[in-house]
């Protein structure tokens, strides 16, 4: 517990601090709930995305052996040329949001290319998009988890340290000032009694 002064000014400071902490705590608790909710949503979206990736991977695996027949430029056509990501603010935290992946134009000889070429390009592109979405969702969870850790620390600090400390400090100061006031009244009464006695003795002398 921090060192305090047993004065009226310190009592006012402790009460002001207590009011401030009690005002901020519900805001922090609300932020914590919002981040927890969004983290759960992101985790569920990630779970669904991983399921999509697994399903598509199985689908591709059924005809992947056909890729032994080379298509010139296939690697360039199925690799995203650009991945667009925006930001979404959740309870004061900016998290990345996948927008879309852009691919280059497919240019191959329709007569020379195998019949499955279009399907291969389309499926592998979808797979590449899903992997990018998975990466962004993992980053979302990473940012949200870090912010949740910080907010948790602040909530605990306010709930378990600052608010109880201010209340206890204010209580101790009130008791001290009350005792000082009672002592002052007692001394005043004693002094008054002595003065009255001295006055009475002066009259009787």
Alpha carbon separation from 28 to 52, 138, 165, 179, 205 (Å, rounded): 36, 24, 19, 38, 75
> What average pLDDT does this structure show over 181-192?
62
> What average pLDDT does this structure show over 130-137?
98
- Mean pLDDT (the chain, rounded): 86
According to CATH, the topology of domain 8-157 is Helix Hairpins (1.10.287)
User: Locate tokens 């948790």: which residue?
Assistant: 152
Residue 101 scores a pLDDT above 60: yes
User: Locate tokens 């309870």: which residue?
Assistant: 91
Cα distance between residue 133 and residue 126, in whole Å:
11
The per-residue pLDDT for range 49-88, each reduced to its tens digit, is: 999 999 999 988 877 776 666 666 667 888 999 999 999 9
Nearest in space to 71 (alpha carbons), one of 127, 130, 124, 132: 124
The torsion region of residue 137 among left (phi > 0), alpha (psi -120 to 50) and beta comes to: alpha
């Amino acid at each position: 517990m921090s060192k305090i002064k047993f004065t009226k000014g310190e009592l006012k400071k402790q009460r002001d601090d207590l009011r401030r902490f009690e005002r901020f705590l519900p805001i922090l608790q609300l932020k914590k709930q919002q981040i927890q909710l969004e983290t759960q949503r992101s985790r569920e979206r990630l779970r669904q995305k991983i399921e999509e990736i697994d399903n598509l991977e199985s689908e591709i695996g059924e005809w992947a052996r056909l890729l032994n027949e080379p298509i010139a430029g296939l690697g360039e056509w199925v690799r995203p040329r650009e991945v667009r990501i925006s930001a979404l603010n959740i309870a004061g935290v900016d998290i990345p949001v996948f927008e879309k992946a852009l691919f280059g134009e497919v240019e191959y000889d329709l007569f020379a290319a195998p019949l499955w070429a279009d399907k291969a390009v389309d499926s592998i592109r979808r797979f590449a998009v899903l992997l990018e979405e998975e990466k962004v969702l993992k980053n979302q969870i990473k940012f949200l988890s870090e912010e949740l850790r910080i907010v948790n620390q602040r909530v605990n600090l306010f709930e378990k340290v600052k608010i109880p400390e201010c209340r206890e400090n204010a209580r101790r100061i009130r008791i001290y000032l009350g005792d000082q006031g009672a002592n002052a009244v007692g001394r005043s009464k004693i002094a008054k009694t002595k003065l009255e006695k001295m006055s009475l003795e002066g009259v009787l002398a």
